[in-house]
Structure 1
């Protein structure tokens, strides 16, 4: 009888081990399925992040905000982040896309100033990602700023997010970023932008040089590839300096791959307008999102503060009422000449390393 019991116990033990082994194998398969992109080249080399502070007074849904950080414009990034953080009680988490040589400087600026409690992670951009997608023309290469293409890869930088906000660095947010985040996008739309013919024009909106407020200012409508799209040349363009992205739709529609396709095609057929005066990141976005994007409230993207004559077109009262200000154009608020630079100064935090100083402040010393 004892021998029978011993055999039964041995058989039960063997059965238990078999079940455990199968569960472990199944777990391995599940983990593999959850990481189907293993081996695929991503638009970043690594994530170099401080530990996100788990204990924070800011509760609720995380609001992902992506911003790029170029070394020569690091003061802009800090001012933009400070304005977002101070003007909202929302649980904002910044993803900062930068290059290797900027990480230490950026970390020191954020951890040794009033931004030390901000949640952020730093991701290193991979410039070789642009190989074969940018024209080899010397003038074009000179104008290319690799980090401006980070907005093309929002889902890769924010793999767990369903929705996110992208911000250029030359902005100041004066409203609660949660209001912008909660903007409604139409069904099937992967992004929302500010159209260049929106209602802000009646409140002092500045049109760009030439036809930069319409598609013909960005694309060459004489080229066959553009003709085949049947787009209207006088369609209002939009400004991609602020994007509200539905990342689920972005992934489902393969938006990143579409943008890369038009980048590559441009290197072969030169599809951009000869009068193009803005960033070369805009034309592919205009094509992919033609009549397939939602609108951002105009007061959430008051633009062209960096253009000539902005000081005469906008009243101080209007600037104070704006929820987001954008100094797109040649004249930056940390440069020698800019309209409403005093507004930007309120959010700028001096560099603890002393490496970055607003040019005009330096000139005044």
Structure 2
């Protein structure tokens, strides 16, 4: 009996050891699977962000004063691009936003590698040191072969104009964000713009170009840029199949209020990239009157699927010939946001209302950027 009992106990002990070994092996296998999945997820996220031109982690610098007394309340993400030859514009736009609001604004500045050092000096050596910002590096080589290189398409040579396509990837933690062109001055409280309500299912809000206020800015030389036919070639089969009406009022994507959750759910970025790349093969809009390769994909994707912005929050066409004759000084003063879209920029010699822009411009501490102004005796 003792021998039988001893044999039984030995068997039990052996089975227990086997079970322990099996559990250990299963645990190791589980850990290996988890590790591989995490690595795959990391690779996926890296690929997704790299494809969009984002270099992570974000580079962020806050001034000492800001760390001591930060602005309170919900963060308002504002994305703006910063090209080297237009840094003065970015500075003026950011200064106007920050100075006219007490909101907790965080600027997401999308720029190129060769501009970062110049930008940092401007942000740290001037009154802009009090702002909160993040710098994102855009990779222009990712657009190679994906946009038209026709000479007349001006923004084909300005890769940063495509940054607005990738809003959720630049600001992944936010549910809502504002995009601003750099040739803008904000005179109202940006909090008011941010709180505009988008309709259910809408991923963005824009200013329609046919609204009564903007119509005043459609001046000689603007042509049909207030409707879809000015941006798209309706003779092309791919455009015909969409069933869009050529006389539909267009919108200006220089100011965007974006619902980033809807943007991601609807894969807006993927849709925009599709139409951008299709244009290189079928020339759907490169030769249109508008001479733009950035706006048409937005018009297609958001056709009758966008909310609207209060017209006073996007007074446009200040950069077109004769705009100064269309807007009174009183009207410009009352506007909440001014946009110098067009060839004549407020840092140039021939623009209208340069004195409004000058109010917010901060001189370049490096001396590289200088607004061009008429001098006494100039004709």
1:38 to 37, 46, 52: 46
- Correspondence 1:327 to 2:362: no
- Which position in structure 1 is the counterpart of 2:320? 307
- Which position in structure 1 is the counterpart of 2:356? 343
Task: Classify the secondary structure of the residue corresponding to 1:51.
Answer: strand
CA RMSD of aligned residues (A): 2.8
Q: Is the 8 A contact 1:69 1:169 kept in 2?
A: yes
Task: Classify the secondary structure of the residue corresponding to 1:37.
Answer: helix
Provide the TM-score with structure 1 as the length reference.
0.88
- Which position in structure 1 is the counterpart of 2:217? 205
Deviations 1:153-190 (A, max 9, x none): 11111111111000000000000101100100000000
Q: Is the 8 A contact 1:213 1:236 kept in 2?
A: yes
Residues 258 and 120 (structure 1), Cα distance of their counterparts in 2 relative to 1, 3 Å cut: same
CA distance in 2, matches of 1:201, 1:146: 27
Moved more, 252-261 or 47-56: 47-56
Q: Is the 8 A contact 1:59 1:90 kept in 2?
A: yes
Q: Is the 8 A contact 1:167 1:241 kept in 2?
A: yes
- Correspondence 1:259 to 2:272: yes
Deviations 1:192-211 (A, max 9, x none): 00000113146x33356211
Count of matched residue positions in the alignment of Structure 1 and Structure 2: 352
Deviations 1:284-335 (A, max 9, x none): 1000000000000000000001111111111111111110000001111100
Provide the TM-score with structure 2 as the length reference.
0.85
- Which position in structure 2 is the counterpart of 1:98? 111
Residues 39 and 339 (structure 1), Cα distance of their counterparts in 2 relative to 1, 3 Å cut: closer
Q: How does 1:166-177 map to 2 (within 5 A)?
A: 166-177=179-190
- Correspondence 1:81 to 2:89: no
- Correspondence 1:161 to 2:174: yes
Moved more, 332-341 or 29-38: 29-38
Moved more, 227-236 or 206-215: 206-215
Structure 2 spans left out of the alignment, 5+ residues: 1-16
Q: Is the 8 A contact 1:134 1:141 kept in 2?
A: no
CA distance in 1, matches of 2:293, 2:90: 21
CA distance in 1, matches of 2:372, 2:154: 26
Residues 178 and 137 (structure 1), Cα distance of their counterparts in 2 relative to 1, 3 Å cut: same
- Which position in structure 2 is the counterpart of 1:49? 59
- Correspondence 1:245 to 2:254: no
Q: Is the 8 A contact 1:194 1:296 kept in 2?
A: yes
- Correspondence 1:268 to 2:294: no
- Which position in structure 2 is the counterpart of 1:114? 127
Residues 108 and 24 (structure 1), Cα distance of their counterparts in 2 relative to 1, 3 Å cut: farther
Task: Classify the secondary structure of the residue corresponding to 1:360.
Answer: coil
Moved more, 120-129 or 79-88: 120-129
- Which position in structure 1 is the counterpart of 2:148? 135
CA distance in 2, matches of 1:24, 1:56: 45
Task: Classify the secondary structure of the residue corresponding to 2:232.
Answer: coil
Q: Is the 8 A contact 1:63 1:91 kept in 2?
A: yes
- Correspondence 1:145 to 2:151: no
Structure 1 spans left out of the alignment, 5+ residues: 1-10
CA distance in 1, matches of 2:192, 2:55: 31
Q: Is the 8 A contact 2:111 2:135 kept in 1?
A: yes
Structure 1 residue 99 displacement after superposition = 0.8
Q: Is the 8 A contact 1:97 1:150 kept in 2?
A: yes
Task: Classify the secondary structure of the residue corresponding to 1:64.
Answer: strand
Task: Classify the secondary structure of the residue corresponding to 1:44.
Answer: coil
Q: Is the 8 A contact 1:217 1:273 kept in 2?
A: no
